[in-house]
Structure 1
Amino acid sequence: MTTVPGQVPVVPQGHRHPLDPEPVRSTKARAVFALGLIGALTGFFVGGVVPATIALTLARQARREAYVSGGFLTGAGWLRRGEQLAWTGLLLAAVAIVVALVIGLVRLAGAPFGHDFAPNVD
């Protein structure tokens, strides 16, 4: 129902029970985002594995709590971005480990194997 052309339609709001709590952002959602960001920033240095793993564990708990709360815990966007950053940190750590292994194997392959004796030794 609109009253004036160009005006936003008025949508009647449902009545809430007076004892219903106010919707609040989950504190775990903020923690997941912060830990995911730390994990992504330090992921290539392999130090981001720990905060990224904690972020993914907290995200699972926060999603469960948000489901049980029936919509009174918000912060799904923060959770989603935090999880993406945590997975990015884990991916960067895995890339760093693979690169280090490849460099180590190439150097090992180029090194002489066994003892390098002088030419006059039989």
Structure 2
Amino acid sequence: MTTAPGQVPVAPQVPRHPLDPEPVRATKARAVFALGLMAAVTGLFVGGIVPAAVALQLSRQARREAYASGGFLTGAAWLRRGERLAWTGLVLAAVTLVTVVVIGVVQLAEAPFGHDYPSTVD
């Protein structure tokens, strides 16, 4: 049923059972977001690996719990944001590690090979 052209159709509300719990935001969703943010901030210093791994593990648990709750646990947007930030932290840490390895290999390649004896030694 629509009330005027251009408006969104109005769906009738299904009455809830009085014993149904109220929908509530999952506490793990907030923790995943905080850990993902910490991972993204410290990703360049390679310290973001640990919070990113914990955030990704918690997000898997939170998704399973939200599915099992039948819609009474909310916070999927916070989970998505936290997962994205965690992956960003992992990518930043990987970029840092690759950069350090490349710099190390280049410096090792520029180092003189063998012994560098003084000019007085035959």
Measured against the shorter chain, the TM-score band is over 0.9
2:71 equivalent to 1:71: yes
- Offset from partner CA, 1:67-117 (integer Å, 9 cap, x none): 100000001111011101100100000000000000011111111123210
Task: Please list every run of 5 or more consecutive structure 2 residues that lacks an aligned counterpart in the other structure.
Answer: none
Cα distance change of structure 1 residues 103 and 5 upon mapping to structure 2, 3 Å threshold? closer
CA distance in 2, matches of 1:83, 1:26: 15
Q: Structure 2 length as normaliser, TM-score?
A: 0.92
Report what 2:10 is aligned to: 10
Given the superposition, is the C-alpha separation of residues 87 and 115 from structure 1 closer, same or farther in structure 2, using an over 3 Å criterion? same
Q: Which residues of 2 match residues 1-122 of structure 1 at below 5 A?
A: 1-3=1-3, 9-122=9-122
* TM-score normalized by the length of structure 1: 0.92
Identity of aligned residues (%): 75
How many residue pairs match? The answer is 122
Q: Structure 1 8/104 Cα, relative in aligned 2: closer, same or farther at 3 Å?
A: closer
Post-superposition offset of 1:6:
6.8
Structure 1 gap ranges (5+): none
Higher mean displacement: 97-106 or 107-116: 107-116
1:45 and 1:17 mapped to 2: Cα distance?
Answer: 51
Classify 1:7/1:92 alpha carbon distance in 2 versus 1 (closer, same or farther; 3 Å).
Answer: closer
Match of 2:90, as an amino acid? Answer: L
